[in-house]
Amino acid sequence: MNILFIGDIVGEPGRRAVKQLLPGLRKRFDIDAVIANGENSAGGAGITPRTAEEIFSAGVDVMTSGDHLWDQKEVTELLERESRFLRPANYPPGTIGQGGGVFKIPGRGTLGVINIQGRVFMPDLDNPFSVARAEVERLRRQTSIIIIDVHAEATSEKIALARMLDGRASAVIGTHTHVQTADEQIFPGGTAFLCDAGFTGPHESVLGREIEPVIARFVTHTPQRFGVARARVHLQGAMIDIDEITGRARRIQRISEPLNADA
């Protein structure tokens, strides 16, 4: 099974990149399923039912999130009614929404997806290691293919979690930092890993935001409005080829696809 994982979608430029580039990527890589982190898709912070529907309509099958989950109040509606939208699984029991699930991929079987949020330099949720282990064991009863989005700041935390799950998950892909790393690899047990998928949106920016206000914030230490930038839009992420019987990854490839400047 060929799975495309799309890094954090930032604002309207990121949504536009998904809509315009995904059809061509599907054909080029013979993609069976698409997972995307959409937590920054609404104005660069949070997600709404409208932006989620725009992304799903573009061809994304499952969407994950992270620490900006609650930035838009409309997200509660999304968590209540949309099974394809995941929040971090390590929120306390009783939190609205779901952190993992098994999804049918027409003609190719099933795909498990789990969303986990780190705790180093992040809001203090339940232990991501114990929750991830339990979620993986739960989904493995239903499918052999499991993809995990680890939304975390610290590289060591992402790597340690992926190493712990080597041979149990098909792939562990990091999100949150918006900086695509060059450490794609397959661990001995068959788990594909990339520390950060990067982000889908404007790269003539500071992590997707307009440059000058961010500089002003660092220089003056005063509040600034961080608008979403516009130029040099890329779709970033990773392509993962997974054996459908064993669930082991065969190949992982970083993706950084530019959007035509006139688009």
Could you list the active site residues?
68
Distance CA 93, CA 166 (A): 26
77 three-state secondary structure: helix
- Integer-rounded Cα radius of gyration of the chain: 17
CA contacts within 13 A on the Cβ side of 70: 7
Helices (H), 87-172: 128-140, 155-164
Which of helix, strand or coil describes residue 236?
strand
Instruction: Take residue 164 and report the two structure tokens written for it.
Output: 């712990």
Tokens of 47: 């997600």
C-alpha–C-alpha distance, residues 13 and 16, integer Å: 5
CA distances from 24 to 64, 167, 175, 235, 251 (A): 22, 32, 23, 12, 20
Q: Provide the 8-state DSSP code for 124.
A: -
Contacts of 134 (CB under 8 A, 6+ apart): none
Residue 161 token pair: 């979690």
